[in-house]
Amino acid sequence: MSELAVQMSGISKSFSGTRVLHAVDFELRPGEVHALVGGNGAGKSTLMKILQGVYTADEGRIAVNGQPVEIRSPHDAGALGIGMIFQEFSLIPTLTVAQNIFLTREPRSGGLIDDRASEQRTRELFEEMDERVDPRAMVGDLSTGYWQLTEIAKALAQEARILIMDEPTSTLTATETQSLFALMQKLKARGISIIYISHRMEEIFQTTDRVTVLRDGRWISTEPTSQLTMERVIDDIVGKTMEGAFAWQERQVERTGTPLLEVRGLSAGGRVRDVSFSLYPGEILGIAGLMGSGRTELARAIFGIDRIDAGEVLIRGERAPIRVPDDAIAAGVALIPEDRRSQGLVLDHTVKDNLLLPMLPRLQQFGLVDDARGARIAKGFVESLQIKTRSVETPVRLLSGGNQQKVVIGKWLATEPDILIMDEPTAGVDIGAKTEILGVIRRLADAGKGIIVISSEPAELLAVSDRIVILHDGSVQRELDRREIVTEEELHHAVQSA
Amino acid sequence: MQSRALERSRNLRIDWRQYLVYVGFIALFLFFAITLRDSGFTTTNNLLNIARQTAIIATMAVAMTFVIAAGQIDLSVGAIAGLASVTTALTIARFGPVAGVAAGLLTGLLVGAVNGLLVTRLLMPSFLVTLGMMGVARGSAMWITDTAPVPILNERYNAIFGSGSIGPVPSLLIWIIVVTAIGAVVLRKTTYGRQVLATGGNERAARFTGVDTRRIGFLVLTVSGVVAALAGMLYAGRLQSGRFQWGEGDELSVIAAVVLGGTSLFGGSGSVVGSVLGALLIGVVNNGLILMGLESSQQIIIRGGIIIVAVALASRK
Ligand SMILES: Nc1ncnc2c1ncn2[C@@H]1O[C@H](COP(=O)(O)OP(=O)(O)OP(=O)(O)O)[C@@H](O)[C@H]1O
Ligand SMILES: [Mg+2]
């Protein structure tokens, strides 16, 4: 039968008076992978949470498999075969993989939970998915790639026929992403329909059958992917023509004198081995590498989170004894971490408080915080980073995923560091904000700061870097001048074959 | 390779945390057994004494394990015990033991349910709600008895709830074995127990998965109230009277026992048997220090120190 798996029509939703969805239509065919795209705060997650029963729509109708339905709770959605892979995960870190998958539906014998049975069924589920995951592993000990597999298995265990994936790859490495795509194709072949939310254009063109664009809470277009160009999608998302978003702007950097930052023979935590490089004022250094190549660990060691086992870090030519992040901050180093939600934000605090947290000491006058000045500075950041929020007094929790990330970036910029290390600075950020952030990086470098950008997106590295260091297995494999690399494929190849 | 390393560190951590209380218990026990050989530490009588003294704390620790595993805390258990001992004693005097038991349990049910409602409906932090409730319950107990003890003359009641024994086995020991067994099975093997762990492990995630986390929060606090009332009734039976002071300060011993037993104060994991052993460990320390002839001021200092060290070890990752 070819009736629609999901049909949402005229969906509207407001949060305390602000309308975030305006009569949006959305349809999903059986066995298709349907991309849902749009800028940060466009309403993608909200629309999907309505389908999932986390929120209820103010207006509009939903039909599943041709039947009109009312979805009032995630439980209702589950009963209709709708499973969501959340942008923020829905797993319990203190339970095992199998316990998570069967949470609230544990197989029982004689009235008591039978963990062996759920472990057995979990093993079978993963076998069907062609994946290897230990059902008895504690979820909190696993990497995000495994979390995601567990989430998917959890949805499948509930006989989900419709899977919603909200930015599933934003925390995945390139390899994990590719295996997720392979898995999606397998699921599709089994007739499962997938709604796929992502900010990464290549992924959308690689995996999806149709694309629906939302902008500012309104439906803009729905087209087969094969009939679209990347430019067209981007134009629909931002509502105007964006040109040369990822074009490289060649910059002149004097690599003479004393480097701003010099790392000599650095080893840390077994994952970083004998790494040396230097960073000059005004320079943007890209760091590329596969998952597990030690990129994040390198950043953590320089910033004083992980202990340095051997080697040294010199700042402006002087040995900097960095033992804790405070030492690094005092030396003018800032790290914008990869896992921003958990490491970078106090979710219940306002946008302003989050932005100003690292600069509080400088806002003090006679021991009191100068609130008016703080508000002005916060507003400045909200404008320059185009953070979409009702006001600077809104709790960060209520911002969309991408906008939360901009707050973290703003927060660290507020410390006015000389050396800025950014780990995946644009993960989960929409295309408009991405160019925005790349622009910010360039401006900061032009102002004489040294910037290290860690990224899994070759396009992004190529857009801003002056030099690129390729890490492999914790060591520097190659160091390339940006000018030596002509195409994205070359960089990709260099990383893969490192 | 990476995943194997992960697996190893995981096992190490769990083993370490779970076994700490066992190792600590055995080590301290041996220490006292050797140093206090001549003071009668290992006599059957003394050991039963320890069991009797810890049974009440252990009972409350079983319910507290659920509370803490669900990410809440209950500071009112000691005060509820005191109040229930009083309502039980007063009701026995007028209407007999069956009504007395019912009145005691009802007291715990009511106070626990109010705690639960305030925490899950008005979304107040359990720390503050139960801190306030501690005063309300203790004060009520003082008020209805005019701060005087209420004797319990019913032999049957006293025998069942704490004073008696079956053969050589004190009834208190039987209570704690029953409560521990039920608690352990419920936490490990029932959907309720699993949902308690899920709620404490990640409340939002649990909610999205379909766990009624408010209901869980309500239930753990209500049950904690009922079990605290049972503890109060055990006090009443053992001391053959109801009195507002019974259970005073017990909340701290109970929480210490639970944390010693390997339950994370952040919620999400817990062990009932561990908590009971934690209570026994505290009991052994108390008893040993008394036999060593230390002054009570010294006892309190050493007990505090041991708890800090043990908790520091147990919560190290
Ligand atoms: N519970 C809430 N209360 C108030 N406002 C909310 C709430 N949830 C979402 N919003 C607002 O609704 C708008 C849409 O948010 P939504 O999370 O759907 O965006 P999104 O398209 O998923 O963006 P992103 O790509 O950044 O994740 C945002 O402006 C956000 O601030
Ligand atoms: Mg979103």
- Give residue-wise pLDDT tens across range B247-287: 998 998 899 899 888 888 888 889 999 999 999 988 898 88
Highest mean pLDDT among A288-292, A297-301, A323-327: A297-301
Tell me if the domain spanning B22-315 has CATH number 1.10.3470. yes
Query: Which strands sit side by side in the sheet containing A261-268, from one edge to the other?
Result: A272-279, A261-268, A308-315, A318-319
What pLDDT is recorded for position A498? 64
Q: Which helix (H) or strand (E) holds A61?
A: strand A59-64
Half-sphere exposure of A5 (CA within 13 A, CB side): 23
Question: Residue type at B140?
Answer: S
- Per-residue pLDDT band for B4 (boundaries 50, 70, 90) equals very low
Residue in the structure block whose two tokens are 């055990």: B234
C-alpha distances in Å from residue A280, one per residue of A251, A262, A314, A422:
13, 9, 12, 16
For residue A404, the tally of other CB atoms under 10 A from its CB is: 24
Domain boundary among A238, A269, A299: A238
Tell me, yes or no, whether A218 and A303 share the same domain: no
Q: By three-state DSSP, how is residue A135 classified?
A: coil
The answer to whether the beta carbons of residues A47 and A8 sit under 8 Å apart is yes
| Every domain of chain B and the residues it spans | 22-315
Tell me, yes or no, whether A143 and A175 share the same domain: yes
Q: Which residues of B touch A113 (CB under 8 A)?
A: 188-191, 193-194
Domain boundary among A177, A207, A238: A238
Say if the ipTM goes beyond 0.90. no
Q: Give tens-digit pLDDT for A75-97.
A: 888 889 998 886 566 789 899 99
Tell me, yes or no, whether A229 and A267 share the same domain: no
Whether the CB of A104 is below 8 Å from some CB of chain B: the reply is yes
CA A100 and chain centroid, separation: 23
CB pairs under 8 A between A and B: 81
Tell me, yes or no, whether A199 and A275 share the same domain: no
CA distance to partner chain B, nearest, from residue A83 (Å): 10
Domain boundary among A206, A238, A270: A238
Tell me, yes or no, whether A61 and A12 share the same domain: yes
Sign of the CA dihedral A47, A53, A59, A60? positive
The answer to whether the beta carbons of residues A313 and A267 sit under 8 Å apart is no
Tell me, yes or no, whether A212 and A292 share the same domain: no
CA of A45 to the centre of ligand 1 (A): 7
Tell me, yes or no, whether A178 and A318 share the same domain: no
- Per-residue pLDDT band for B13 (boundaries 50, 70, 90) equals very low
Please tell me the total count of domains within chain A. Answer: 2
Tell me, yes or no, whether A224 and A345 share the same domain: no
Tell me, yes or no, whether A217 and A353 share the same domain: no
Q: Which CATH number goes with the domain that contains A20?
A: 3.40.50.300
Determine which of A85, A92, A341 to mutate to test the interface with B (most B C-beta atoms within 10 Å). A92
Residue A454 lies in a domain: yes
Whether the CB of A107 is below 8 Å from some CB of chain B: the reply is no
Domain boundaries, position A393: 261-496
Residue A248 lies in a domain: no
For residue A10, the tally of other CB atoms under 10 A from its CB is: 14
CA of A399 to the centre of ligand 1 (A): 5
Q: Which helix (H) or strand (E) holds A69?
A: strand A67-69
C-alpha distances in Å from residue B60, one per residue of B21, B120, B175, B252, B298:
18, 21, 12, 11, 26
Statement: residue A1 has pLDDT above 50: no
Sign of the CA dihedral A435, A437, A443, A449? negative
- Per-residue pLDDT band for B180 (boundaries 50, 70, 90) equals very high
Q: Which of A433-436's residues contact partners 24+ apart within 8 Å by CB, and which partners?
A: A433/A39, A433/A40, A433/A385, A433/A386, A433/A402, A433/A406, A434/A199, A434/A245, A434/A460, A435/A242, A435/A245, A435/A246, A436/A385, A436/A386
Prediction pTM value: 0.72
Report which of residues B71 and B304 the model is more confident about.
Answer: B71
Residue A254 lies in a domain: no
Q: What per-residue string of b and e applies to A142-172 under the rule 16 or more CB within 10 Å gives b?
A: bbbbbbbbbbbbbbbbbebbbbbbbbbbbbb
Terminal-to-terminal C-alpha distance of chain B = 22
**Which residues of B make CB contacts under 8 Å with A?**
2-3, 6-7, 9-10, 14, 185, 188-191, 193-195, 197-198, 200-202, 204-211, 264, 267-269
Q: Give tens-digit pLDDT for A7-53.
A: 999 999 999 888 999 999 999 999 999 999 988 888 999 999 999 89
Question: Which residues does A392 contact at the CB level (< 8 Å), separation at least 6?
Answer: A350, A351, A352, A355, A375, A378, A379, A382
Residue A243 lies in a domain: no
Give the residues surrounding ligand 1 with Cβ less than 6 Å away.
A 15, 20, 38, 40-46, 388, 398-403, 430
Tell me, yes or no, whether A303 and A361 share the same domain: yes
Tell me, yes or no, whether A197 and A302 share the same domain: no
Range B56-77 average pLDDT: 96
CA distance A103 to A118: 10
Terminal-to-terminal C-alpha distance of chain A = 49
Sign of the CA dihedral A391, A393, A399, A403? positive
For residue B19, the tally of other CB atoms under 10 A from its CB is: 13
Tell me, yes or no, whether A47 and A79 share the same domain: yes
Retrieve residue B189's tokens: 């093997």
Residue A300 lies in a domain: yes
CA of A41 to the centre of ligand 2 (A): 7
